[in-house]
Amino acid sequence: MKFRNTLIAAGASAILLSATGVAKAADSTKPIVIPIHNWSSQVVMAHVIGGIFESMGNNVEYVPADSQAVYESIRNGDVTISHEVWQSSFGGSFYNAMAKGGLIDAGTHSAATLEEMGVPTWVIDQNLCPGLPNWEALKDCKDVFTTVDSDGKGRWLEGPQSWHGTLMEERIAALGLGDDYMVKYAGGASSLWAELAAAKKEGRATIIFNWTPNFTDAEGFTFIEFPEYTAGCRVADGGEGSCGSPKGWLKKAASYKFPKSHPAAYTAYSKISFSTGQIGSMAALVDTDGLDHKDAAAKWLADNEATWTAWTK
Amino acid sequence: MIELFKQKKSLQFILLLVIFYLLNHFIVPAESNILWRLPPLLKWFPLYINDSIGYLMFEWWPVEVYDPDIEEFEQKPLVSQFTRIISGFILFQIEFIREIMLGGAKTIVTFSSWDWATANPWARMPGLPWTVIAGGATILGYALAGRGLALLVGFSMTYISVFGQWEPAMQTLSFVLVAAPVSVFIGLILGIWAFRSKTVEAVLNPLLNMAQIIPHFSYLIPVMVFFGIGDHAGAIATVIFATPPMVRLTLLGLKKLGPEVAESGMMSGCTNWQLLTNVLVPTARRDILIGVNQVIMQCLAMVVLASLIGAKGLGIDLLIALNRLDIGKATEIGICIVLIAIVLDRMSLAWANKQTDYFSSLSFIEKHKYSLVFAALFMIALGLAYVGQFIFPEGFNYLYIVPHNKGMSIAIYLQSGVDWIWDTYFFALKVFNEWLILSVLLPVKAAYLGMPVIATFTLFMGIGFIVGGLRVALTVGALLLFIALTQWWDRALITAYLMSVSVLVSGIIGITVGTLCAQNARSTRFILTYCDTFQTFPSFIYLIPVMMLFGITDTAVVIAIIVYASIPALRYTVEGLLSVPETLQDAGTMSGVNRVQRWLTIELPMSFPHIALGLNQTVVFALSMVIIGAMIGTDDLGQLILGSLSDRNGVGNGLILGICVACIGLAIDQILRTWANQRKQALGLN
């Protein structure tokens, strides 16, 4: 039924096109599918971008999805966009899907991001490991960071292996910290936050993987300063691995169908660029002010109309 | 001497253990030593599977399909075109039920087009006011089982609405209302088929185990490619996960029937079909209804995981809340999931137990009183919803729907409860945690990892041989061999270590607590409700407090597994003890046994098939939690499965890793089931 109707519609529009001779079609009325993941800024931004599309007369649908697996769906055209591609967490999935074909890079947000190992700021305030945030301080205070199951070594709580493979193990070895530190892989972001909360309650120092902008910024989180990143310094790129993370990017991905099916919406999407402050304010509307995600998006759109209407033109 | 040895299984076990110990002691741990670790000869296999599935998903038998959105012809593989038709069919049903409850455009779009629906914004399904659905469900509850059920249903629906979770809860409900009946139906059919044919039973059993054990993350990407992301994909994954217990319990129920039941049916001249539908299935109703209960529980247990492949509703809200460590909010949502599960379960139970009254002659009003009350309620609620537009100042019409997250909330109280537990017990638990890790978990883990591969094989194949002879030994050996030849043997040992510690504790808890609770009706009801609650209460919620209390350690993983895996051990013990015929109990009492003797000599042996099935399910549940353990942070197979999501060859790796997990389960199942069957034969239960 649906198929026949779409055929008829396609036929009708084909006739219409040939009659009027207009070359470029308007945006399809089929919904633009925006994925919802499990962190606040992403959900609010999904509704903000959805709101921008709706203001242009498009239909929008939101679909919950796993943040790694979604790239395969984008590539197949089931999901239209992914608007928060963090370099170190999703870079792997993003480039895999791009290499297989079907996913396009729709530009980069202006937000400056950093994804790195770090400690809660109060660890530095209380001087639990003198010399931090410089990484060399770690050499002398492994004991502060040991846990029951870390075999006497200090523990780095890294994200799951799906984020950056064995990068941190390589870094520990390359920096000569191999005898003093070990890497434990947390299962996901919520494990990291649970560790952060537990360490604070217990007054115990901890090293975890984290990124900014993030809701943890409000509580105070300091990234460890490792030797500067240079192109090719990582083991995977043929280097020694004794370097920190690069200043990260935050990209926008789109399905190959998007520019063709919704040319106007895609043009606007490619112009969208959020800054660190804007992303932070979106997350704060939910995390600090306690708004619902949809209300937060509506409020953000109302407060920043000048910013986003420029993208739609 | 040799004769005695052949007779005494305990002696055989002792000999096996001695050999096992010697092998453990004398094999040199070196990578080149083939007795220590087998070479990963199957290393190419995941890549091969990956390429084959990639070929099937994207290349095999391409057909030209016109895509009107991009106005181009595209090459699409035939298989995915076919699976997409199934998806569309399932999605339509889910959307249809959803839009009856919440309103929307999708159903109308199906029968027209997006162009038409966008041009005609009036053409939408109107959603029903929540009062109509809540009231209607309450009336249905009353009609089915009287005041108690009506109260439960009314309370649950009101809770969901008042706490501002109506919209996501109805989204979840709509997809469960499609997935659960489908699972029950398929389960019933397969169960009956397996009852009629031994071959089918033999083929089905490992498949059922695999369906329950293989972590969903293993096939997340293939499902997303074949079926597309959305509620339908969630429903399909749910059906795969929820059907196996239904099949098993249908089969168990039918098998337990004595031949006289079938004979009496045949004597009354039943055809085959009548025999099945009017005699056998109704008589086996007790076990089949446990199956229905299990389907509903498993469906709701999948709500969170289904949200990873596009199922809308409570799942994603819960994940968002948890990622902010908002345990209060997450608990509120978790309670909604549990309430939906319990309401659905009790209502389906009441419906199945309701006897048709063939004899009374009723007037029209008596016959249709509930429909009439509903019609009246419908009009009143509609009227109220209309009036509601004008009375609420903020612009929300609470009599139509309580908007999402704008209802009541007790999140802060729940949160402070969690904080209180933390403040009160943390340091005591810390001592326990350190002891457990240092004296139990780490040594056990080291022992598992220190096992030479030859010793592992000897032990398991030996047990298989003693229990069931050469056939079982070879099956177990083949399953282990598959794992040993991949490069993940060590990871599998860690999975096995986590599983065996958890299963041991779960089994002990299940059988002892189950026995104690089966002693009287009230505690039985309590423990079964507890089972229903914790089977559906999303484990993610208690993961966070557990992680905060016990750290990102194996303790946290083991506790999370035990909470979930002790459920089948409990449930099946209770059900088993209840199914012991009263006449047998009386016979025992008359022969003068005391309580403990009765338990040991009558109740336990008689309920053994149930308990064995329960233990079997405990293993399955524990293995299915592997992936949840990985979400805390482990270094076993589960962590690699999570990692495969972003891997270039992830599809193949994920699947083979999942199959490795399943192989562990199948090997244990093989041993346990053979043993159970022998016991049953010995007791004359077959």
Max Cα-Cα span within chain B = 93
Q: Lowest-confidence range among A60-64, A88-92, A200-204, A225-229? A: A88-92
* Per-residue pLDDT, B612: 85
Question: Do both B73 and B174 map to the same domain?
Answer: no
The secondary element (H helix, E strand) that includes residue B67 is strand B62-67
* Per-residue pLDDT, A6: 46
Of B308, B639, B648, the CB nearest to A161: B639
CB pairs under 8 A between A and B: 204
Interchain pair B309, A66: CB under 8 A:
yes
Chain A residue whose CA is closest to B329: A290
Contact residues, A window 254-293, toward B, CB-based 8 Å cutoff: 257, 260-261, 287, 292-293
Tokens of B376: 């009246």
Q: What is the mean pLDDT of chain A?
A: 86
* Secondary structure of B208-239 as H, E, C letters: HHHHHHCCHHHCHHHHHHHHCCCHHHHHHHHH
For chain B, say whether A43 makes contact (Cβ under 8 Å): yes
* Per-residue pLDDT, A71: 93
Question: Do both B87 and B217 map to the same domain?
Answer: no
Q: Is residue B127 part of a domain?
A: no
CA distances from B180 to B173, B183, B345 (A): 10, 5, 11
Interchain pair B644, A184: CB under 8 A:
no
Tokens of A147: 């846990």
Question: Do both B272 and B310 map to the same domain?
Answer: yes
* CATH topology match: A25-112+249-312 vs A114-237: yes
Compute the distance between CA of residue B103 and CA of residue B227 in angstroms, rounded to an integer: 25
- The whole-angstrom distance between B37's CA and the closest CA on chain A is 23
Question: Do both B538 and B563 map to the same domain?
Answer: yes
* Per-residue pLDDT, B57: 80
Q: For residue B373, what are the contacts with CB-CB under 8 A and spacing of at least 6?
A: B139
CATH of the domain at B568: 1.10.3720.10
Compute the distance between CA of residue B679 and CA of residue B674 in angstroms, rounded to an integer: 9
Interchain pair B629, A163: CB under 8 A:
no
Question: Do both B53 and B30 map to the same domain?
Answer: no
Interchain pair B316, A64: CB under 8 A:
yes
Query: DSSP secondary structure string, chain A?
Result: -HHHHHHHHHHHHHHHHHHHT--S----SSPEEEEE-SSHHHHHHHHHHHHHHHHTT--EEEEE--TTTHHHHHHHTSS-EEEEEEHHHHHHHHHHHHHHSSEEEEEE-S--BEEEEEEEHHHHHTTSSTTTTBGGGGGG-GGGGB-TTTTTSEEEEE--HHHHTTHHHHHHHHTT-TTTEEEEE-SSHHHHHHHHHHHHHHT---EEEEEESSGGGTT-EEE-BPSPP-TT-SGGGTS-----PPPB-EEEEEETTHHHH-HHHHHHHHH----HHHHHHHHHHHHTT---HHHHHHHHHHHTHHHHHHHH-
Of A30, A59, A189, the CB nearest to B69: A30
Question: Do both B195 and B102 map to the same domain?
Answer: no
Chain B residues in contact with A195 by the CB 8 A cut-off are: 547, 551-552
Domain A25-112+249-312 has CATH 3.40.190.10: yes
Question: Do both B15 and B88 map to the same domain?
Answer: no
- The whole-angstrom distance between A181's CA and the closest CA on chain B is 16
Question: Do both B187 and B85 map to the same domain?
Answer: no
Q: Does residue A84 surpass a pLDDT of 90?
A: yes
For chain A, say whether B643 makes contact (Cβ under 8 Å): yes
Contact residues, A window 217-256, toward B, CB-based 8 Å cutoff: none
- The full set of domain ranges for chain A reads 25-112+249-312, 114-237
CB B332 within 8 A of CB B166: no
Which DSSP symbol is given to B584? H
As for the ipTM of the complex, it is 0.85
Burial class of A130 by CB neighbour count within 10 A (0 to 12, 13 to 18, 19+): exposed
Kindly state the average pLDDT of the residues A231-243.
Answer: 85
Question: Do both B469 and B595 map to the same domain?
Answer: no
Identify the CA nearest to B50 among candidates B650, B592, B464, B668: B650
Question: Do both B288 and B217 map to the same domain?
Answer: yes
Of B307, B633, B635, the CB nearest to A64: B307
Average pLDDT per consecutive 10 residues, chain B (686 residues; last block may be shorter): 77 90 86 85 88 84 80 82 89 92 86 86 85 91 91 94 92 93 94 91 89 85 87 92 91 85 86 85 85 90 88 91 85 91 90 72 77 86 81 75 80 86 85 92 93 92 91 94 93 94 94 89 91 84 84 91 92 87 84 85 82 88 86 87 81 91 92 84 70
- The whole-angstrom distance between A23's CA and the closest CA on chain B is 12
* Per-residue pLDDT, B526: 92
A5: pLDDT confidence band, cut at 50, 70 and 90?
very low
Name residue B207's amino acid: L
Chain A residues in contact with B441 by the CB 8 A cut-off are: 149
Question: Do both B103 and B200 map to the same domain?
Answer: no
Quick: pLDDT tens for B51-70: 888 888 888 888 888 887 77
Chain A residue whose CA is closest to B629: A187
Q: Is residue B230 part of a domain?
A: yes
Which DSSP symbol is given to B394? T
Q: Is residue B283 part of a domain?
A: yes
Q: Is residue B389 part of a domain?
A: no
Question: Do both B480 and B501 map to the same domain?
Answer: no
Identify the CA nearest to B495 among candidates B628, B647, B673: B628
Tally of domains in chain B: 4
Among B295, B330, B358, give the residue marking a domain's end: B358
Backbone φ, ψ for residue B627 (5° rounding): -70, -35
Compute the distance between CA of residue B67 and CA of residue B75 in angstroms, rounded to an integer: 10
Chain A residue whose CA is closest to B436: A148
Which DSSP symbol is given to B27? S
Chain A residues in contact with B437 by the CB 8 A cut-off are: 148-149
Q: Does residue A14 surpass a pLDDT of 70?
A: no
Quick: pLDDT tens for A158-191: 988 878 878 899 999 999 998 999 999 988 888 8
The secondary element (H helix, E strand) that includes residue B481 is helix B453-485
Of A59, A63, A162, the CB nearest to B646: A162
Among B325, B358, B391, give the residue marking a domain's end: B358
Domain span including residue B469: 7-36+454-485
Domain A114-237 has CATH 3.40.190.100: yes
* Per-residue pLDDT, A302: 94
Q: For residue B175, what are the contacts with CB-CB under 8 A and spacing of at least 6?
A: B94, B98, B231, B234, B235, B238, B306, B311, B312, B313
